[in-house]
Amino acid sequence: MANPPKLVILDRDGVINRDSDSYVKSLDEWLPYPSAIAAIARLTRAGWTVAVATNQSGIARGFYDEATLAAMHEELRRRVAAAGGEIAHIAYCPHGPEDDCDCRKPLPGLLEQIRDALELESLAGSWMVGDSLRDLQAGEPLGCRPVLVRTGKGERTLANGKGLDDVLVFDDLAAFVDWLLDTR
């Protein structure tokens, strides 16, 4: 079997930045966790590729547009670059739950987009880090190893307890990166 790619796929809201039950609708509302930005940079410097897979149904709901989302993602890339890191690809789903798309997590479409954009044969053995069960479920059919962080909706997901049998749990992205870089 080929070695798994040194790839970490991150959910955005609740993992990289603060989440909001009323959606992150503007660049002013996009508040990254400083430790997450530093963790992404550390991964990059250690030879890992980092990608983002994020549901953004606020676009379908009319709360913000794709230009606003692009500004948030540009700021994310800028901050990560300033810390010495890089995000290789950002895949997002602009659809709502009723839109019958194939990219809204828990479906694996966003991860398939990342696989194709990075020209990988497989995502098997890569890491999928999220704060909700649907984030982790998106990686299952592609062989991703699931990681739940307690930030964002992570505590709620953990309290629910369903579907978490083989999931590694960390306080935040920085704690996962500490573990990953110490054990790999």
**Residue 104 φ/ψ, nearest 5 degrees:** -75, 120
Q: What is the C-alpha to C-alpha distance for residues 37 and 80, in angstroms, rounded to an integer?
A: 6
Q: How far apart are the first and last CA of the chain?
A: 18
Q: Of 39, 53, 132, 131, nearest to 88 (Cα)?
A: 53
Q: Quick check: helix, strand or coil at residue 13? A: strand
Active site residue 100: no
Angle between helices 173-183 and 34-45 (to 10 degrees): 20
Choose the catalytic residue: 11, 19, 135, 172: 11
Q: Quick check: helix, strand or coil at residue 26? A: coil
Token output for 87: 């995000």
Distance of CA 96 to the CA centre of its chain: 18
Choose the catalytic residue: 13, 19, 131, 172: 13
Angle between helices 66-82 and 34-45 (to 10 degrees): 60
Active site residue 116: no
- Please list the active-site residues: 11, 13
